[in-house]
Every structure is written in structure tokens, then in C-alpha cells.
Structure 1
């Protein structure tokens, strides 16, 4: 596979993922963004934790979620647990935004 073929494949996958996002966003109440992923969810819980060395991290629990990940075969997930050392951004979707 050439570099051009690979780039074309990745572009097609991203477009397919965007179309899926557009189709499902109305089913969810929240947009959650972490350092590595982007999620849609209907319920979430964030807990701030501390390590033994005093570093802070976030434990995020999502229910009824959709994961923005083009390499994941099943993007709908019943329960997700995410641990991140970076901030978590949560936005509530309003029907007007959709």
C-alpha cells in the first residue's frame, strides 16, 4: 500500500466517522473531551484523584456512550471508565445546537 493509498483510506475513515457522529449526536446529552478521545454520553461522573506522589488525575465514568475513534469497530459502549492526567472538558448539548 502506497502512502497516497493510506492517506486516502484514512481520509475516507474520518469522513465516515464524522457522518456517524452527525447521525448519532442527537441521541446524547453531553460532549466529553479528554486528552486522547472525544465522547458523547447521556450520563457522566468525574472524580478527582491523587497519586501517592501528590499528582492529580481524573477518573471519568460514562454511561450510554459513543466513542470518536475511527479504529474502533464498535463505537457504542454501555459503560466507559477513563483515567486521564489532563483536564476533562464537558459540555451539555441543547437541542437548539443540534
Structure 2
């Protein structure tokens, strides 16, 4: 496989992922972003924890969609994420759910 073939494959995978996101975003209420992943979910629990002076975040979600083009199944029944970096959680307004046409 050439470098160009690999680049074309990754471009196609990203386009498929965007299309899937566009199709499912209206089903979810929250966007959760960590340093490694991007999630859509309707329910979550965020716990701030301390261990030996280090602060970390533990996020649990149910029925989540994961932005990851290498996962064969992006809808996940239960997710538990532990991260040492900031977590961004936003509630989607209905106007945020409108995807621009022509894409």
C-alpha cells in the first residue's frame, strides 16, 4: 500500500465518520471531550478524584457514541473514562444540532 493509498483510505474513513456523526448528533444531549476522544451521550457522571496529590477525572457514560474512526462499533452501552487532563462537557442546544446543508 502506497502512502497515497493510505492517505486516501484515512480521508474516506474520516468522511464516513463525519457522516455518521451528522446522522446521530440529534439523538444526544451532551458532548464530552477528553484529550483522547470525543463522545456524544444523554447521561454522564463526572467524579473529580485525588490520588497522592494528583487530580484526575472519572467520567461514566451510558449509551454513548464515540468519535473514533478506528473503532468498528462506535455506539457503546457503557463507557468509563479516566483522564488527568481537563474535560470539556457541553449541553447541546437544539440550534447546535443543525448541520449545514451541502456537506
Relative to the length of structure 1, the TM-score reads 0.96
Q: SS at the partner of 1:25? A: helix
Aligned length: 97
Q: 5+ unaligned residues in a row in structure 1: which ranges?
A: none
Match of 2:74 in 1: 75
Cα deviation for residue 97 of structure 1 reads: 1.4
CA RMSD of aligned residues (A): 0.6
Q: 5+ unaligned residues in a row in structure 2: which ranges?
A: 98-103
Relative to the length of structure 2, the TM-score reads 0.92
Q: Distance in 2 between matches of 1:97 and 1:10?
A: 27
Match of 1:48 in 2: 48
Q: Distance in 2 between matches of 1:62 and 1:20?
A: 20
Match of 2:22 in 1: 22
Match of 2:39 in 1: 39
